[in-house]
């Protein structure tokens, strides 16, 4: 069975972009793959400065994973700080990583441009991510398109390490494959830019009904009147809808037709927003109920995390023995 590894930072409430770009893939893979999904708590420290908020967000990501439908009997869920071996591995990988490779990483530049402090931790973020991945020997890493470069860096570091310390018959690391959704376009937020926890432009599928509707009504549009035909591909509302329902879904096709309609049959943006609101309520009806139950059962969450960390550590112990021996420790 192929092994899968991915993670999400607990830097705020998960949003539709995280769901469509990442979680949906985890849900599909868990049936016929060995799936490890973790909460990237160390990574969140590159941006999060409030301990209470971080503690809350870490817990919330786990609850949301479970509410979305990750099944602990099919998928190992753990916290990054319960497997500190990844920090040791990050050091060892950092020693084969040319500084110039980090200089080329675009996420660092983007985050600094957004005002996030330019710490050493933020700069070497991709090395820790490579350690998260290589520590469990996965075959595939399902992520959203914005993480592609990080997975490429991971592959490169694995190859460098193998070149330095392994031989062709016995590489130290398996070189994992990147996995993107078929429609890998990033989901835009209410302001039309990439939806992101740190940009405050997300749509949280677990919001109460009224604020959720209000949030969706806030999505930016141009000022075309209902009578005028509209290109769905240029619309933020449509992009979010298609990412969630799927491009080939009948509802998406129907909405695209409504966009193109003209004259008295034309569509105003309010109608498209209402369709998106209904889609979100419909898609997450079960998840919303499950989440309420999960919030009331903290001992269940603790047990899931204990089992998940145990399973991850069992794999990592073997990998770390191999790696230490390879470098001469």
Candidate segments 5-13, 25-33, 212-220, 222-230, binder of ligand TRP by CB under 6 A: 5-13
**Taking the alpha carbons of 239, 241, 247, 250 in that order, is the dihedral positive or negative?**
negative
22 is a contact residue toward ligand ADP (CB under 6 A): yes
Candidate segments 129-137, 209-217, 281-289, 294-302, binder of ligand TRP by CB under 6 A: 129-137
Single out the catalytic residue among 99, 114, 194, 230: 194
34, 64, 132, 204: which one contacts ligand TRP (CB under 6 A)? 132
Single out the catalytic residue among 197, 214, 254, 273: 197
Instruction: Please state, in angstroms and rounded to a whole number, the distance separating the CA atoms of residues 122 and 4.
Output: 25
197 is catalytic: yes
> 186, 161, 181: which is closest to 172 by C-alpha?
161
List binders of ligand TRP among 153-192 (CB under 6 A). none
Q: What is the DSSP letter of 163?
A: H
Instruction: Please state, in angstroms and rounded to a whole number, the distance separating the CA atoms of residues 142 and 68.
Output: 16
111 is catalytic: yes
43 is a contact residue toward ligand TRP (CB under 6 A): yes
Cβ-defined contacts of 249-254 (< 8 Å, 24+) = 251/275, 251/279
8 Å CB contact between 143 and 324 = no
What does the per-residue mask of binding to ligand ADP show for 175-214, with x meaning CB under 6 A?
A: -----------xx------xxxxx----------------
141, 157, 219, 244: which one contacts ligand TRP (CB under 6 A)? 141
Tell me how far, at minimum, the Cβ of 117 lies from ligand ADP, in Å: 16
Single out the catalytic residue among 109, 111, 114, 214: 111
Reading the block at residue 2, the tokens are 């192929």
Candidate segments 116-124, 140-148, 233-241, 267-275, binder of ligand TRP by CB under 6 A: 140-148
4, 5, 13, 21: which one contacts ligand ADP (CB under 6 A)? 21
326 is a contact residue toward ligand ADP (CB under 6 A): no
The secondary structure element, H or E, covering residue 6 is strand 3-8
8 Å CB contact between 110 and 194 = no
> 154, 81, 129, 71: which is closest to 312 by C-alpha?
81
If the CB atoms of residues 145 and 281 are measured against ligand ADP, the closer one turns out to be 145
Sheet bearing 3-8, strands edge to edge: 75-79, 34-39, 3-8, 140-142, 177-179
If the CB atoms of residues 175 and 186 are measured against ligand ADP, the closer one turns out to be 186
Reading the block at residue 283, the tokens are 């898609």
Would you call 191 helix, strand, or coil by DSSP? coil
List binders of ligand ADP among 100-159 (CB under 6 A). 143-144, 146-147
89 is a contact residue toward ligand TRP (CB under 6 A): no
The radius of gyration computed from the CA coordinates of the chain, to the nearest angstrom, equals 21
> 12, 11, 21, 10: which is closest to 194 by C-alpha?
21
8 Å CB contact between 166 and 326 = yes
Q: Which does 195 bind (CB under 5 to 8 A by kind): ligand ADP, ligand TRP, none?
A: ligand ADP
129 is a contact residue toward ligand TRP (CB under 6 A): yes
If the CB atoms of residues 9 and 124 are measured against ligand TRP, the closer one turns out to be 9
Instruction: Please state, in angstroms and rounded to a whole number, the distance separating the CA atoms of residues 23 and 19.
Output: 5
273 is catalytic: no
φ, ψ (nearest 5 deg) of residue 286: -65, -45
Residues forming the site for ligand TRP (CB under 6 A): 5-9, 40, 43, 129, 132-133, 141, 143, 147, 150
Residues forming the site for ligand ADP (CB under 6 A): 8-9, 11, 17-18, 20-22, 143-144, 146-147, 186-187, 194-198
Active site residues: 111, 194, 197
């Amino acid at each position: 069975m192929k092994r899968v590894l991915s993670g999400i930072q607990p830097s705020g409430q998960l949003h539709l972009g995280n769901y469509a770009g990442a979680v949906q893939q985890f849900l599909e893979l868990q049936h016929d793959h060995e799936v490890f999904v973790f909460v990237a708590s160390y990574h969140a420290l590159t941006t999060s400065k409030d301990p209470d908020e971080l503690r809350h967000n870490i817990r919330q990501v786990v609850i949301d994973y479970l509410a979305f439908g990750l099944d602990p009997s099919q998928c190992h869920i753990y916290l990054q700080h319960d497997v500190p071996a990844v920090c040791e591995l990050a050091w060892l990988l950092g020693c084969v990583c040319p500084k110039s490779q980090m200089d080329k990483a675009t996420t660092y530049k983007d985050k600094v441009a957004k005002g996030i402090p330019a710490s050493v931790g933020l700069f070497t973020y991709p090395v820790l991510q490579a350690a998260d991945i290589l520590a469990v020997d996965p075959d595939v890493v399902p992520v959203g398109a914005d993480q592609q470069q990080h997975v490429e860096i991971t592959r490169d570091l694995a190859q460098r390490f193998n070149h330095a310390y392994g031989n062709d018959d016995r590489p130290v690391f398996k070189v994992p494959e990147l996995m993107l959704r078929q429609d890998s376009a990033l989901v835009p937020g209410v302001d039309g830019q990439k939806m992101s926890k740190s940009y405050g432009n997300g749509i949280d599928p677990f919001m109460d009904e009224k604020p959720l509707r209000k949030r969706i009504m806030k999505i930016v549009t141009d000022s075309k009147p209902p009578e005028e035909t509209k290109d769905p591909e240029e619309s933020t509302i449509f992009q979010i809808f298609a990412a969630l329902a799927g491009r080939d879904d009948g509802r998406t096709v129907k909405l695209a037709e409504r966009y193109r309609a003209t004259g008295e049959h034309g569509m105003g943006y309010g109608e498209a927003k209402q369709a998106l609101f209904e889609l979100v309520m419909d898609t997450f009806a079960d998840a919303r109920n499950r989440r309420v139950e999960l919030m009331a059962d903290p001992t269940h969450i603790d047990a899931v995390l204990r089992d998940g960390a145990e399973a991850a550590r069992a794999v990592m112990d073997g990998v770390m023995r191999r790696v230490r021996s390879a470098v001469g420790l």
